[in-house]
Chains A and B, each alone.
Chain A
């Protein structure tokens, strides 16, 4: 009866060193369509066209292939997954593959009937984005009036049906001062979990970095509020806090290591080790329309390029942390240093850290940040 621990998180790879890692989860971006225009959207600036999207049947085949590779968790996202008329069919396909279904939604177009259908089809958990703690703030960030009220109503539909609810708040200069109120909203709405994640600067967020970067005093205060709330709300609300990269000393283990645990699939079927990997030039991504997922996971050039540690240069190569953070984020290395094989410039040991510090100083210097560039379809470029 005596066991050392109750619950353990899985080891990073679940396999002997020389073998292909066992897949843990996949992010399925079923569409890039979205009624919101958040300026930090994690979608690429070149959005997939609706007529290129995989069908529900194609997604079903992909889900079964993923499950055969060991996938347990499905993150059903977009764009806005509810923008798909056949989202219930996609959920049913995922359930048939025995995946755990996390529906990640803006929740501005969820009706009671659709909520019933999604529950019946097998959704396990719903994550709703919370852009700010007020109607005005939420409207200013999403560029959609009434979004806040619609989200609150949708959260009630989720909890009334007995599903666990996570609120996901991406934080930045314009809303970081409202973290206390966001926590109160999460409690009020009966959320099980609140994820407060500082903006990651790639894609649309990179285009808006000067508008979004928080000031140091905001970051410090938010950290204190989160620490206190975690203690106060233990057993009521789990709070995950993702600290801002530019203020950190060491990088995060992006995606748990490139090609180690996760993959992301775009609406049109391209398979990537990270949902931002398209920002790395000269990297080709195989497509599930033409190649079995197992072949892509095991052998595609995109997954092999930064898998493991052999690709690393100094200072990563001889670093004691290399199996812990895997050199950080390849996309951030690309965007700040111009070479995806460099150490993530967040790392204090990176020779490029000064470039990150300079960007941080420049972005936080202005008393009035610049206007947002909204996330929207515009010939593949950010639209002003």
Chain B
């Protein structure tokens, strides 16, 4: 898989459904035949990828929200988002 860069445009496919589960009291990610419990950071990323979005914009938004340097956010985020890409729950699309 190609390494992730700030210029990549990412999107969460419509079939990877993020849902606030009232019965369980926390968000769930619904994908084919599985229910996954995303960590809070993953939820923040997935919420921002409902429509095609530059990965760099996601990093910058989280850096602003957390008042943290963008390069630190990027270092934290890239393995997480790469994992989502590998599993297909986030897709890279052409510009």
Is B truly associated with A? Answer: yes
Q: Which residues of A contact B (CB under 8 A)?
A: 1-10, 14, 22, 24-25, 68-70, 72-73, 75, 98, 100, 102, 124-125, 127, 162-164, 166, 192-193, 234-235, 238
**B34 contacts A1, C-beta separation under 8 Å:** no
**B39 contacts A6, C-beta separation under 8 Å:** yes
**A7 contacts B13, C-beta separation under 8 Å:** no
Closest to B29 in A: A7
**B32 contacts A9, C-beta separation under 8 Å:** no
**Distance (whole angstroms) from the CB of B19 to the closest CB of chain A:** 7
User: How far, in whole Å, are A223 and B33 apart by their CA atoms in the complex?
Assistant: 23
Q: For the complex, count residues of B whose C-beta is within 8 A of A.
A: 39
**B35 contacts A1, C-beta separation under 8 Å:** no
Given A192-B32, A192-B88, decide whether A6 and B13 contact each other with a Cβ distance below 8 A.
no
| Contact partner, B32, options A8, A125, A162, A235, Cβ 8 Å | A125
**B23 contacts A100, C-beta separation under 8 Å:** no
Q: Which residues of B contact A (CB under 8 A)?
A: 1, 13-15, 17, 19, 21, 23-24, 28-42, 62, 66, 68, 72-73, 76-77, 80, 83-89
**A235 contacts B73, C-beta separation under 8 Å:** no
Given A100-B17, A193-B32, A235-B86, decide whether A1 and B68 contact each other with a Cβ distance below 8 A.
yes
User: How far, in whole Å, are A164 and B62 apart by their CA atoms in the complex?
Assistant: 29
Given A3-B40, A22-B23, A70-B24, decide whether A9 and B34 contact each other with a Cβ distance below 8 A.
yes
**B30 contacts A6, C-beta separation under 8 Å:** no
Of B13, B28, B30, most A-chain CB atoms within 10 Å = B30
Closest to B24 in A: A14
Closest to A193 in B: B32
**Distance (whole angstroms) from the CB of B82 to the closest CB of chain A:** 10
Given A72-B35, A192-B88, A234-B86, decide whether A162 and B13 contact each other with a Cβ distance below 8 A.
yes
- Chain A residues in 8 Å Cβ range of B34: 9, 73
| Contact partner, B42, options A6, A73, A100, A124, Cβ 8 Å | A6
**B1 contacts A235, C-beta separation under 8 Å:** yes
User: How far, in whole Å, are A78 and B33 apart by their CA atoms in the complex?
Assistant: 16
User: How far, in whole Å, are A14 and B19 apart by their CA atoms in the complex?
Assistant: 17
